């Protein structure tokens, strides 16, 4: 059996992370068409997002921006799948070998996870 994902891990958020995206048109980002989305899960090579914006049958590439811990991640993404969900759509987005983005995502997730673990320990102490 072949799997589409060839990555080491995928991080699913308990609460979606707010993010923005804009569409590339003619090789440039159209900032006038910036929209909001919820980041549902992420790996170093891609993410799953939800938005009420319908990006059409053959969506153009996206300029994605989000913060996982403290630094803004800005990535170029191509939509590889979509499915209706609630009052919008979920989209699977591939980053296409952006090494600096992959490294930043891993570092930010490590920092975020460390803070979450420390918070959980503190909450258990105060119970």
pLDDT in tens, 37-94: 999 999 999 999 999 999 988 899 999 999 999 999 999 999 999 999 999 999 999 9
Residue 63 to residue 114: CA distance in whole angstroms: 28
Closest CA to 47 of 6, 18, 23, 12: 12
H/E element, 112? helix 99-125
pLDDT at 2 over 60: no
Give the domain CATH number at 35: 2.40.10.220
Asked if residue 22 lies in contact with residue 34, where contact means CB atoms within 8 angstroms, the answer is: yes
Domain that holds residue 45: 11-125
Q: Is residue 62 part of a domain?
A: yes
Number of domains in the chain: 1
**How crowded is the C-beta side of 40, counted as CA atoms within 13 Å?**
10
């Amino acid at each position: 059996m072949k799997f589409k994902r060839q990555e080491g891990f995928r991080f699913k958020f308990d609460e979606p992370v707010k993010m923005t995206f804009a569409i590339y048109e003619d090789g440039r980002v159209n900032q006038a068409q910036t929209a909001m989305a919820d980041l549902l899960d992420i790996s170093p090579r891609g993410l799953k997002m939800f938005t009420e914006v319908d990006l059409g049958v053959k969506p153009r590439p996206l300029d994605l921006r989000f913060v996982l811990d403290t630094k803004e991640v800005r990535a170029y993404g191509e939509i590889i799948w979509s499915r209706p969900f609630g009052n919008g759509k979920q989209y699977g987005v591939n980053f296409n070998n952006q090494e600096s983005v992959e490294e930043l995502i891993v570092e930010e997730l490590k920092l975020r996870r460390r803070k979450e673990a420390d918070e959980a320990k503190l909450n258990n102490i105060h119970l």
